[in-house]
Structures are given as C-alpha cells and as structure tokens.
C-alpha cells in the first residue's frame, strides 16, 4: 500500500505504509470473474473468457507504480551547471492515474519548476517521478503532495512549484456527468511560497505553454 502524507509545517511527511498481504494472480482473476457475474454478464461466454487475465495484466501495467520507488530517480544530481541557479521548469508532462474512490481514470498534465540550491537532476527524472506516483490509486491532491515531497526532500531546492491539471472520469462518466471539467492543484515551497510574484511567474510560464 502507498504511504500516507501528513502535513507538518510546509511539508508532507510520510507515515509508514500499512503492509497488506498481496493475493495471487489467480485470486485477482477470480475476483474479476466475480465482478463480471455481479454486473449481470456471463464470465464464461466467449468474449469474456480471457477478460480476467487481460484486466489483471492491464492493472499490473497502469498501476505499476506500486512496484517502483520514484525517489531512486532523484539520487543522482549534477553539480557542474556553469553557475546556473535560475528557474528550471518542465511543463506539460502527461500523466494518467486512477481515482482511489471509484477506480476510474483521471488524465492530465503536470508542470514542475524549481530554483536549484546546488545540484540539478536530469529533466527526464522529474517526469519519471510524476509517472510512478501517478500509476497508483490516488487523489489529485495526494499526488501533488507526493511529487513535491519527493523532489523537495532530495534536491532541497530554494523553491519548488508543482501544478497538476486533470479531467476526472468519476465526474465525466458517473455522478454529475460533466464533460471537460478540469481540476487544478498547486503546491509551493521556498521562494515560491514566500513571494507571490514567483507564483505569478510560474503560472504565466505554464499558461504560456497552453495550446
């Protein structure tokens, strides 16, 4: 299971994850067959015979973030950056995740910016952090906090800004059934938190990339 973040001051701190016994693949496939029967379909009909295997295989892929440690990608930093200490930004990082309440997808983009205090990390590593945390059952708020916590704890930047924009299928496919509604979450640390003009700069750069 994923760790839970509890806010302490301006940071999100991990609690020890609760260990859960993991069922076998066969048990997971049996659960899918039970669900198929529960919705009123016949798991033994031709079109559904291989569905349990396919569903478990698909979930292994789209929820594979449980089997990776995103912080491993932040271990290596580069100190030789020619004295550069200004803003570094990676925007429009696509991601897909699953709502932990309904297990329906939410799909969006992430934008990350930071002011280095020393070493910098490879740009692709920021995208990997987003991807690994996203491929777990999530809320968008929790996902935002996890990304901030991982980057902040390993890079200790002078300031960090993260914005997530996503469309939640639990609002689109069920409930209020509203198409095209975006949810935006942001979290700031350091100079971004202390200086509103830095927040404006970040959001302006994000919006400058909107299409």
Q: Which residues are annotated as a binding site for Zn(2+)?
A: 99, 102, 170
* Helix/strand/coil for 133: helix
* Helix/strand/coil for 68: coil
* Helix/strand/coil for 29: helix
CA angle, 22 then 26 then 29, to 5°:
100
Using the structure block, give the residue that is written with the tokens 């020890």: 16
The tokens for 160 are 């960090």
The tokens for 139 are 């809320």
List binding-site positions: 99, 102, 170
> For residue 81, which of 111, 113, 116, 114 has the smallest C-alpha distance?
116
| Nearest-angstrom CA–CA distance, 4 and 9 | 16
């Amino acid at each position: 299971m994923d760790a839970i973040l509890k806010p302490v001051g301006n940071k999100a701190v991990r609690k020890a994850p609760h260990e859960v016994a993991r069922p076998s693949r066969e048990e997971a496939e049996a659960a899918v067959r039970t669900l198929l029967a529960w919705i009123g379909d016949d798991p033994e009909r031709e079109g559904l015979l291989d569905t349990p295997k396919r569903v478990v295989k698909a979930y292994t892929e789209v929820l594979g973030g449980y089997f990776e440690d995103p912080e491993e990608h932040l271990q290596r930093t580069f100190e030789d950056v020619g004295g550069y200490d200004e803003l570094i930004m990676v925007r429009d990082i696509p991601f897909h995740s699953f709502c932990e309440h309904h297990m329906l997808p939410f799909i969006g983009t992430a934008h990350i910016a930071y002011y280095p205090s020393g070493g910098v990390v490879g740009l692709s590593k920021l995208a990997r952090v987003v991807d690994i945390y996203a491929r777990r059952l999530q809320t968008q708020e929790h996902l935002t906090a996890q990304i901030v916590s991982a980057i902040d704890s390993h890079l200790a930047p002078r300031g960090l800004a993260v914005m997530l924009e996503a469309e939640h299928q639990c609002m689109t496919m069920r409930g209020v059934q509203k198409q095209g509604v975006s949810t935006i979450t942001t979290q700031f640390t350091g100079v971004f938190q202390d200086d509103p003009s830095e927040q404006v700069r970040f959001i302006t750069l994000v919006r400058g990339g909107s299409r």
